[in-house]
Structure 1
């Protein structure tokens, strides 16, 4: 790091870009088990905000693992690195004035704390609260069945831990709410935070 000279102090500020876009840039960090509804709600939120004239970027766990994170495994160390890279990427978008929506399982308090520290005060944690039994019954991708048969190692909720968030700013109960009301609740909470 000796020969690195960042120019952060001489580039346009996030505030300059927010003024241009007429929105407050935040990072909406959606966490929850596979099958809880994170990606579904993230896509719906992005579409709604876009229709309302907001510039957004959606970062989804599966998408990042096919590109920037395609060299990572699901070991505890690589899971942590996956979240670190995602948070750094989200911070770049946020600093460009973009409302950034992130959909990552983020299974432990440690990785969520790391993401919060990287992003800073614009980090908004959204816990998509859905019990394991409900997520497993949905099993949209067939991953729980594979994990139960031993075909997937270290699968969150089955043979790898998921620690329920203790500091989420927003909690969406997708087990007991229909998609429409979950979406409306999320949009309402986010619009308050991005209003310029």
Structure 2
């Protein structure tokens, strides 16, 4: 997509650094990627609550919620999946500029799209977290009944069934939701953020 002509970026009167100083913490994106049913939203929202209790300003951007509003015009074609990720990456960048910690819960199945997201946000402010869970376990959970519908052919282009999921090659962090409890996973992510001196 080409950049529109005669559009000039207008710098904010308040810098990202000033907002971070006011909030008393850094701002960055935690990008949770994994199959449907792997536990992305559960982990992101549980972590968000813990960050809130620590007075860390944060916001969860959830795939289904975004497709109910901002991206309601997009299908699940490969092209629209990429546009979905591009838009949410730009939104995430704005949140980071506002000094907010962003937790995104998107399947984001393609490596090239996640790399695009990292470029948009900036590598220094982007933490890719692979939510690893065998598809067999995701199907057992099937919290939204999507796998069942996909197996019946009622949902075309469903990730893991008839559309691929490309696992991260070198994620910043990997969690195993079929082996670890939610509390253990959240604690491990908090430890990572503390180790990096982000919180």
2:125 and 2:78 map into 1 onto residues whose CA distance is 26
Q: How far did 1:190 drift?
A: 2.7
Find the counterpart in structure 2 of residue 16 from structure 1: 18
Matched, 1:178 2:181: yes
**Matched-pair contact (CA < 8 Å) for 1:24–1:193:** no
Find the counterpart in structure 1 of residue 94 from structure 2: 92
Find the counterpart in structure 2 of residue 122 from structure 1: 125
Q: Which runs of 5+ in 1 are unaligned?
A: none
Structure 1 length as normaliser, TM-score?
A: 0.96
For residues 5-45 of structure 1, give each alpha carbon's deviation from its aligned partner in whole angstroms, at most 9, with x where no partner exists: 2123x532211111110111000000000000000000001
**Matched-pair contact (CA < 8 Å) for 1:18–1:24:** yes
RMSD: 1.2
Find the counterpart in structure 1 of residue 137 from structure 2: 134
Q: How far did 1:194 drift?
A: 5.6
Structure 2 length as normaliser, TM-score?
A: 0.94
1:47-126 aligned at under 5 Å gives the runs: 47-120=49-122, 121-126=124-129
Q: Which runs of 5+ in 2 are unaligned?
A: none
Shift >4 Å, 4+ stretches: none
Q: How far did 1:167 drift?
A: 2.5
